[in-house]
Each structure stands twice: as C-alpha cells, then as structure tokens.
A and B are shown apart, each in its own frame.
Chain A
Amino acid sequence: MKKNTLSIILIILLIVSIVLIAGCTQSTKQTDSNEQSAPSTPQEQKETVKYPNKQINLIIQAAPGGLSDLVARTVGGQLEQILGVPVVCSNKPGASGAVAMSYLQASAPDGYTLGYVPVELSMIKALGFADIEPNSFDLIESSNISPATVTVSANAKWKTLQEFIDYAKNNPEKVKIGNSGTGSIWHIAAASLEKATGVKFNHVPFDGAAPAVAALMGGHIDAVTVSVMEVKSGVESGKLKVLGVMSEQRSEYLPDVPTLKEAGYDVNVAAWGGFAAPKGLPQEVKDVLYPAFEKAINSEKMKEVAKQRGFSIFYKSSEEFTKFANEQFDFYMKLIPTMGLKK
C-alpha cells in the first residue's frame, strides 16, 4: 500500500512537471527570440536578412473544417511554395478567437509566428472578451469577405425585403430572427438592420450559423442574417430565399438579389478575414512577407477555393487593411454597447 501511495505521488509529480515544461517552453521561446531581435548587432542583422530560414507557424483562431481554417490553410500552403519554408498551421479555437489572438499578441514579432484574424478582431474589445484591437498587431493583408444576408424560408409570405420590413414594423418583436450567437457578427447584422429600419426583432441565438440555418429550414424561426456562403446551398436546393445582401455591391453568388443599399437602407455587415503578426515586425521581414502574402492571397488556388465555398477574395494592402480594420473597430465600439449585451 505504501509503495502504491509513493508511486501515485510520483506519477502526479511527473504529470505536473510535464505540463509545467510544456507551459514553459512557450515563454522561453519568446524570451529567446526577443533577445535575438532586440539588440541589432551586425551578426543579428545578417540573420534577419535571411528571413525566412525556418518553419513559420500560422495560428488559426477557429476549429478545423470551418471557413477560417480553410482560408488560412490555403494561403499557408501557397506561402510554403513562395517562401520555401514549411508553414505549419495550428488551430487554437476558443472565445470568438480571443484565445488565439491573445497568443499571437504575446508571441515574438520575428515573422515566424503569424495568425489569421477574422472580423472579431474588431469586435472582441467591444464585447468585453479580451483587450485586443487591430492596433495590437501588425496587420499583414486582408484575404476574404462574405457579407450578411436577410434569408427566409422559400415558402415565406414575404417576396421582397420591403414586405419583410413592413411586416416586422407592424409586428414588433414578432419576427424570430436567428443568429450564430449573441455578440456574433450575424447578431450584429440583425441589430444593424433593426437600427437602420427602426423595427424590433426577436433575436434567437444559436450555437453557430449552421444550426440557425437548420432551424430556419425546419420552420422554427422566421429569418436568419448569416452569410451568403452559409445559405448558398439552401438557396440552391430551393428551401431558402435571400431577400437582401448587406454589402455595397451585389454578391457574385446571388446576382439577382438586391443589396440593402438598393432598398434604401445603409447597412453593410460582413465577415472578413486577413492575416496579422505580433506588433513590431522588423522592416526586413515585412519586405519579404507582404509580397509573399499578396501573391498567396491572389493565387489561382485561392480563387478556386473561394468559388467552391462561396466567399469572395478581399485583398487589401497592409495600410488599407489597417485603416479598414480600425474603421470597423470604431464602428463596433459604438454599435455593440448600444445593443445592450455588455454587462
């Protein structure tokens, strides 16, 4: 019995030390590379000129299988060919991407740890999840966009967006509108529509966009405000119809559907994504990295993937992307507190 207790204690100690070691390697790596990049001795500069000379880690903020994962892995694969070093993608999902973005923010700005950043980058601070904003990073370039829609069941009585809004106006809080979670981008889409039209919806949050679309198909809710990409197959199968798209231009996948702007409402909400690096990337690294990303994002492979999945390529250079993300940040910082979520 004594021997057993001893061995149990030993095993627990072993496990704890393994975890501690695993936890520590991360921070030691960081300090190591900080030391490397901080003093710019001639030898150090020589090393940075050679960038990239080892594996690049690309952090993805969502689970495998989703859009973020797909875009990041596609671009990562192209980068690998362009830069000639392995690009290893790893998923760190959780808390609307806050887990991955916090990790990226704390990584060394040496160009070897990069990340995919979605629209939540501009929302997380307003939602109160983490103290992260676009200026916490060196934004590389943006890559993709998918605008929100107003989608209803194919046999719904509304034929146009105006009919839908008129009905909602006459029946306040009667229209059940599904989104992918309170504080998610599609919830904000519905809330923006409310604001622009002066109607009141009954918001029903689901655990992601797919369950919301399923609930709409099953007739449990009246409408969803998720992206073109997520309703595309439902529309093609004749189960759903899209009344409006929340973007400046009509969607390439739904050319017959008017934008909200055409209907007279200035609502533009879209899920976008791009790439970012920890703040303070050396200029030599940027000079290599930015053109490589530009090439990867505009590659044929990306165009092919976008077409298959139903999102649009949305390339913006680093300055444009930074400006855009900050505009979005200011917009959400103003909008989200008025939605009454932040407690």
Chain B
Amino acid sequence: MLLHAIVQVLRPDIFIYNLAGVVVGMIIGALPGLSATMGVAILTPLTFWLQPAQGLAVLLGIYNSAIWAGGISAILINTPGTPASIAQTFDGYKLVQKGKIGLALGINTIYSVTGGLVSTIFLILAAFPIANFALKFGPPEYFALGIFGLSMMISVSGKQIVKGLIIGVMGLLFSTIGLDPMFSIPRFTFHNVNMMNGIPFVAAMIGMFGIGEVLFQITENRITKKITLTKELGRIFPTFKEFKLTALPCAISSIISVIIGAIPGTGGDIASIVCWQQAKQMSKHPEEFGEGSIEGLAVTSLANNGVIGGAMTTMMTLGIPGDAVTAVLIGSLMMYGMQPGPQMFIEHADFVYNIMALLIVGNLTILILGLLTSKLSAYILYVKDEVIWILVIGFCILGSFAINNSPFDVMIMILAGILGFIAKRMDIPVGPFILALLLGPIVESNFRRSLALSMGNHLIFFTRPISLILLVLTILSLTYQPVSSYFKRKSFSKQTQ
C-alpha cells in the first residue's frame, strides 16, 4: 500500500510541486522571522486550484524544508531561521567558527532528513498508540515537561551559570507580561492592547540572536575573528566514527521528539532543547556541548524535524493539531474535503498513505538539495561582513513585522536586540532568557490549571506517573553533575592519599 503510494507520488507533476515546496520552504525557513507556519498558511490558499495530492506536496515540502533550513541560518549567522532551530545555534555556529563549515551544514541536512524519515516511520507503524499516549499529557504533565526544559538553563549557560540563571529569571519575569492565563487579568500591560498577549516570542528571539549578534560582531575586534574563521567549506559528511558517536543519542532523541511533536501544543523548539539536554547528560564529552559539539548539533537537527511525524500523527488520528504548522494544515486538509480523524484512515486510506509517501519523498528531496547547496549556502560567509549585517538587520525588521503586521513587534525585536547585545558584551548567555520566555507561560498556566483541576491539591504533580517521572528526571539532571563530580573528587583524593 505504502509502496504503491510512493510510486504514485513519484509522478513528475507531484515531484515538481514537492520540489517547489521544498525550495520555497528553504527560503522561508532560512530567513529569520519567516516561519514554517507562516509559509504554509500563506501558500495554502494558492494550492486550492491544484489537486489535493499536488497541493499537499507543496505544503508538506514547505513544512519539512523550512524547519531544516532554519538550521542553516542558525549555523551560519547564529540567528535561528525558525523558532525550532534555536538549539542549533548552541553548537552549529561554534562549529563554523572552528572552520568546520561543511560539516556543520552536512550534519544539519543529514540529521534533519533522518529525523524526518524516522518520525514518518513512527507515523506509519504506530500512529494510534502514539496519539493515545500524547493524550495522556494533561496540565500536570505539561507543567513537569516545562520544568524539565527549564532545568536546562544551567547547561545552556556554559561556564556562566550564575549570570545565566540571573538572566533566566529575568526572562521568567518578562514572560508574565500580558493577560494572566487563568483570570485574564492584564499584568504589566500599561493599558496597551499590544501588550495583552505578552512579549511576542518570535520577535524577541530574532532580535536577541539576530540584532544582538550583529551589534556584537561590529564591536568585536574583527582582526582576530578573521584568523579563526577559515573560509574553506571542508568535508560535508561526518566520519564513520562521528556517526557511531551520534547513533545512540539520536535514537533516543528521535523517540523523544516524536512524542513531544505528538503532544498538542509543543513543537520543534521544545523538542530540540530537551533532546540537547538529554544528549549532553548521556555524552562522554558533555564539556563539548555548547562549544561546537557534533553530537549536540546532530540531535538538535534531528529533533526539530523529528517533531513533524509526531505532530502529523496527532493531527491525522485525532484531528487535533500537534504544533502550530499542523493547526494550519488541518484547515488545508478540510479544504481538500478530508476530515482528519480515525475515519480518515478508513475512508481515505489511500490519501493517508499519500501523505506518508509525500513526507518520505520530501525528505529525500531535502537530502539531495541540502547536500548540493551546502557550498552555495556557505558562500554567505564569503560575503563582506557589512553586507551580512545590513541584510540580517533588514530581515529581522521585515520578519518581526510580518508575524502580526505590527510595528509594536518590530519595537520589541529591536529592544530585545539591544538587550541581547548588552548581555553578550557582559558575557551573559542569552539562551536562558529565550528558554524562559518560551517555557515560562507553559509552566505557569499549566501549574495553575493543574491546581484548578485538583482543587488546590499540590499532590496532583506526584500522583500521576508521567508527571512524576518527568519531575524525578529533572531532579536527577540537576543533581547528577554536582554529585558525580563530588564523588569523583572524593575517590581522586582517596587515591592520592
């Protein structure tokens, strides 16, 4: 059945539409501020004059390739192209600074495609069990997942743990701006309607990374940078040894990312952050994480694309969006006359297989296109710095305006950029701030929602298995490092005695 669907999808017209989607997605994804959600939403109406299979070929192509291409700008200019590629800036940009440009781009492509393919396989084999597991996530579980994510503030801070925690708490405070999630009471909005939805996350993110990075580079002593930055592409493919190194963390990450993708309302941003944390704890070289770790880049590239299969699973089996893009895709499917849900698997099985086949073919297209364009993408590093700066600033302004057509968001983006610049100059990591802004609202609203469910009983977080496991994992991840280094020191001192 699936093979039949793949053969069907390999029709030249569908292949061309898929390719078109991939190329459009690549451009949208690589430009900061233009996200996969926006790309799919804007192009949906244009696909209605196509056949359903052709239209979906375009949309799924955009979805997959925008998430992958977001990593390209994260790696090359340290500005995530989409929110899902935040975690790729941790290691990707450092690898480029070390001169491993080709390798960084190659890893992004190869592991993104792996993530996409593996998650599609999950979708094919276990769509219903995954979706039913995702439904088990109620408010207490979201809270515990959010706390687990927040515990990562420490690892993204690198050596500046105290500074990282300070700016992280600042981020949490900023995340309380807007209507409160339970009673809709305006907090710190100063009677400005624009503030009611809180700090716009994407605008703050691209400002902090994009503008912050540009301002920092301008003030940095560029002579030293020129020397460290060799402009050779270098090898694209990782060595067999590197492959072996990443195999286990990637296997675990693909499961985590499929589940996080399937949970309604959580997407690639959270998945890649959680996977990065997970891989760091398992790694034999945790010190490399954040300093250009191949494992780190591999799992984050894999995780944000791995979410797609999970999100599609929930969307197709239950009719509930798994992330922002699938929320738009549901509408598109309905316009094609499909009602996502178990019925679709029975009544339109061929269509379901078509979707799966399109995901597979789309990912293979990305693989070929990605490897072929590595050199082209890397040309961005040959461009004069001044040109890049102006382009990045221009796209940041355009992107932040385009999200909500709102000049207010542009203002926030610039303020975040200045804050990001000051933080960088003072050697404060900005990762914890972004993390807090992303997870703060999830943690707060689900904490209070859980208490509303339990009538104020805090035990609700510990009596439910998934929530309990996540909280225990959080405690373990917080205590593992200091405890193990304490014991190491102890045994070391014993040996020396």
Give Cα distance in the complex from A135 to B219, angstroms. 54
CB neighbours of B401 from chain A (8 A): 22
**What residue of chain B has the Cβ atom nearest to residue A5's Cβ?**
B219
CB neighbours of B181 from chain A (8 A): 181, 205, 207
Decide yes or no: A236 and B410 within 8 Å by CB, A4-B219, A95-B196, A213-B320 being known contacts.
no
How many chain B residues touch A (CB < 8 A): the figure is 61
CB neighbours of A19 from chain B (8 A): 397, 407, 410-411, 414
Q: B406 and A341: CB pair below 8 A?
A: no
**8 Å CB contacts to A: which residues of B324-368?**
327-328, 331, 334-335, 337, 339-343
**What residue of chain B has the Cβ atom nearest to residue A95's Cβ?**
B196
CB neighbours of A7 from chain B (8 A): 218
Cβ of B453 < 8 Å from any Cβ of A?
Answer: yes
CB distance from B211 to the nearest CB of A (A): 8
CB neighbours of B327 from chain A (8 A): 65-66, 210
Give Cα distance in the complex from A210 to B328, angstroms. 12
Cβ of A86 < 8 Å from any Cβ of B?
Answer: no
Which single member of A73, A99, A203 contacts B45 (CB below 8 Å)? A73
Annotate B302-313 by CB proximity to A: 1 below 8 A, 0 otherwise.
Answer: 000000000000
**Which of B138, B214, B401, B405 lies at the interface centre, i.e. has the most chain A CB atoms within 10 A of its CB?**
B405
**Which of B45, B319, B337, B389 lies at the interface centre, i.e. has the most chain A CB atoms within 10 A of its CB?**
B319
Annotate B165-202 by CB proximity to A: 1 below 8 A, 0 otherwise.
Answer: 00000000000000101111110000001101100000
Cβ of A214 < 8 Å from any Cβ of B?
Answer: yes
Stretch at the interface among A113-121, A217-225, A258-266, A272-280: A217-225
Annotate B9-34 by CB proximity to A: 1 below 8 A, 0 otherwise.
Answer: 00000000000000000000000000
CB distance from A316 to the nearest CB of B (A): 25
Give Cα distance in the complex from A336 to B219, angstroms. 54
Cβ of A333 < 8 Å from any Cβ of B?
Answer: no
Cβ of A40 < 8 Å from any Cβ of B?
Answer: no
Cβ of B136 < 8 Å from any Cβ of A?
Answer: yes
Cβ of B375 < 8 Å from any Cβ of A?
Answer: no
Give Cα distance in the complex from A221 to B328, angstroms. 25
Annotate B221-248 by CB proximity to A: 1 below 8 A, 0 otherwise.
Answer: 0000000000000000000000000000
Which single member of A92, A130, A202, A309 contacts B452 (CB below 8 Å)? A202
Cβ of A39 < 8 Å from any Cβ of B?
Answer: no
**What residue of chain B has the Cβ atom nearest to residue A93's Cβ?**
B404
Which single member of A16, A22, A221, A308 contacts B335 (CB below 8 Å)? A308
Decide yes or no: A98 and B196 within 8 Å by CB, A211-B264, A218-B136 being known contacts.
yes
**What residue of chain A has the Cβ atom nearest to residue B195's Cβ?**
A95
CB neighbours of A290 from chain B (8 A): none
Annotate A100-139 by CB proximity to B: 1 below 8 A, 0 otherwise.
Answer: 0010000000000000000000000001111000000000
CB distance from B394 to the nearest CB of A (A): 9
Q: B41 and A11: CB pair below 8 A?
A: no
Cβ of A285 < 8 Å from any Cβ of B?
Answer: no
Cβ of A70 < 8 Å from any Cβ of B?
Answer: yes
Which single member of B37, B183, B193 contacts A98 (CB below 8 Å)? B193
CB neighbours of A219 from chain B (8 A): 135, 138
**Which of A22, A94, A210, A305 lies at the interface centre, i.e. has the most chain B CB atoms within 10 A of its CB?**
A94
Cβ of A323 < 8 Å from any Cβ of B?
Answer: no
**What residue of chain B has the Cβ atom nearest to residue A14's Cβ?**
B393
Give Cα distance in the complex from A15 to B193, angstroms. 24
Give Cα distance in the complex from A63 to B402, angstroms. 12
CB distance from A305 to the nearest CB of B (A): 7
Cβ of B424 < 8 Å from any Cβ of A?
Answer: no
Q: B407 and A15: CB pair below 8 A?
A: no
Q: A8 and B407: CB pair below 8 A?
A: no
Cβ of A255 < 8 Å from any Cβ of B?
Answer: no
**What residue of chain A has the Cβ atom nearest to residue B345's Cβ?**
A237
Decide yes or no: A210 and B406 within 8 Å by CB, A205-B449, A220-B138, A237-B343 being known contacts.
no
CB neighbours of A90 from chain B (8 A): 405
Q: A183 and B184: CB pair below 8 A?
A: yes
Cβ of A42 < 8 Å from any Cβ of B?
Answer: no
